[in-house]
Each structure stands twice: as C-alpha cells, then as structure tokens.
Amino acid sequence: MKKVLSGIQPSGQLTLGNYIGALQNFVKLQHSEECFFMIVDLHAISVPQDPANLREQTEAVAALFIAAGIDPSKATVFVQSHVREHAELGWLFTTLANMGELERMTQFKDKSSGKESVGAGLFVYPTLMAADILLYNADLVPVGDDQKQHLELTRDLAHRFNTRFGSYFTIPEPYIPKVGARIMSLDDASKKMSKSNPNPASFIALLDPPDVIRKKISRATTDSGREVKYDPANKPEISNLIGIYSHCANMSIAEIEARYEGQGYGPFKKDLAEHVVSVLEPLQNKYHDIRNSGEIHTILKQGAERASEVASRTLADAKDLMGFLRPRG
C-alpha cells in the first residue's frame, strides 16, 4: 500500500467543488492505500482568522470528512495542530528553503498582491506543507492545479535534505484525477469554485439547504445559445454544469447531451439541481448526526494518536540526521 496525505483548510464553507474534486477521491483512496487526511488549521492562520469561527469550522470540516464517506477505521483523520511534529518539522524545512523559492510561489504572489503588509506565515507556509507531506513519507499527494507548485517545492526540499543529510525522505508524486479535479465557479467558469469567494452565489456549499441549491443553480451563468453541449473551449459555463451533472447523476457526458438534445438550458438546470440535492441531502443528514452525537472528538483524538506515532518517529530520525542532540536521562 502506498501512503497518501492530503488536507483541507477550515476557512469558509466546504463546497461541491471540494466534494467532487477532493473528498470523493479521499473516499476512493482509503480502500486501496494507507491514507492520512487532516484539517490544516495551522495553514488557515497564515491569514487572520476569527478564533470562534476557526474552532467551529475545524470541527465542521472534520464532520464533513466523515459524512462524505471517509471511514476513520480505514483512514487516519486528524487536526494538524493536534500533531505537534508538523510545526517542528515545518521550522526545520524553513531553514532549508531559499527566499527566492518562496517568493516565486504563485499563491503567495496572488494573496499578497496589492497589500501593504503581508504576514510571514503566508510567505513560509509552503515549507509547513512540505513537512505535512514528508512527516508521513507520503508516496501520493492529491493536489489541484493550484497546489502543484507547492508539491514541486516539497520534492525539492526532500531531495535537498536527502543530499545534505542522507537519503531518508520519500519523494512524493502528485495524484491528480483525470475527471472532477476542478469544478468551476457558478458565476464565472474561468475561476475555480472557491469557498473564499465573497459571492455566495458562485459556489454550492455542502451544507446549503435544498431550496438554496435550487436557486443557485437556476441562476448559474450559462453561455449564449441554448444547446446543452460539452465544449469547454467555446461553452465553458454549460460545460462546467455538465461536469457537475455527470458526477452527481453518475452519467456520462454523452448521455447527458443526448438526454437534453433540443430542450435548452431550463430543463437541464432544473434536473441538475435535483441531482445535486439528492447527493447532498444524505451527506447533510449524516453530518448533523455526527455533530449532535459528539463522536467527532473521539475520532479526531484517535486519529491524532495514530498520526503522532508515525510523525514522532519521522521527526526524531530527521533531527538525528541533522545533528540534534537527543535528550537523555
């Protein structure tokens, strides 16, 4: 079994894009690989967070992991800050990274653009991400296109450590599904569906009520014309909706095109909304059961204990190789 590591920030509401692009893949991978899935709260604070919201969202994201189908008996589910080795190895890798490498990170440039002051955490957070991955010597890392650059830095830092201190860390590979890796915004198909978008109509939150989902899809931007045809280059808006339909209805694109031939966007969007609701309602019911039962705290405690067993060994080995003196007595 290969080791898989991935995480999601507890900032904002998880979206249908997170479900299709990440959570569904987590659920598949847990059956064939050794998986570590975490809520990356240390990454979230690279930009200011309201403490009460951070606490609530961390628990909510963890519960959504389980509601989406991640089985804590098959995969290790935990909160990043509950495993202190992440922060310590993150610092060690910060000392191996160069200023130029971090300055070239596209996400840093995007998030710092136009701001008078930028936190140092936002600048160095790719080295913490590297530590997250390498603590578990992950073979595969599910990443979207926007995280490829960070994974490349992780590979470079692992190679640099291995060259300088002795071969130890696995060089991770990206896991990028061919389908469903990128669901776009409902109001602009040139942008990824994002929980940080200030316009709530641009995304479907996993906990949106059915009537809200129906309204958002009915108002989703469509291309000129009325043909339900998958053509990302010339009809990006309807192609994005067809992609969502395909995942939620478990139908091929060709089947969807044939079903709505000559019918226009209206019937298509109405049926799409019902398919999305049929997928999310059971997830929402399970989510509320988990939150009400309080079992998520037990799951996270057990997950952190399992993760710490692996992470503590990795950190101790890395410090030995770097020349740190072990405590005695």
Q: Which of 3, 192, 216, 235 is catalytic?
A: 192
Rounded Cα distance between 213 and 269, Å, is: 11
Quick check: is 28 catalytic? no
Quick check: is 192 catalytic? yes
Quick check: is 195 catalytic? yes
Q: Which of 3, 111, 216, 269 is catalytic?
A: 111
CB 268 within 8 A of CB 241: yes
In sequence order, the 6+-apart residues with CB closer than 8 A to the CB of 251 are 245, 259
In sequence order, the 6+-apart residues with CB closer than 8 A to the CB of 79 are 38, 39, 41, 58, 62, 300, 304
**Integer CA distances (angstroms), 50 to 53, 119, 265, 296, in order:** 5, 16, 41, 22
CB 149 within 8 A of CB 106: yes
CB 117 within 8 A of CB 71: no
Q: Could you list the active site residues? A: 111, 192, 195
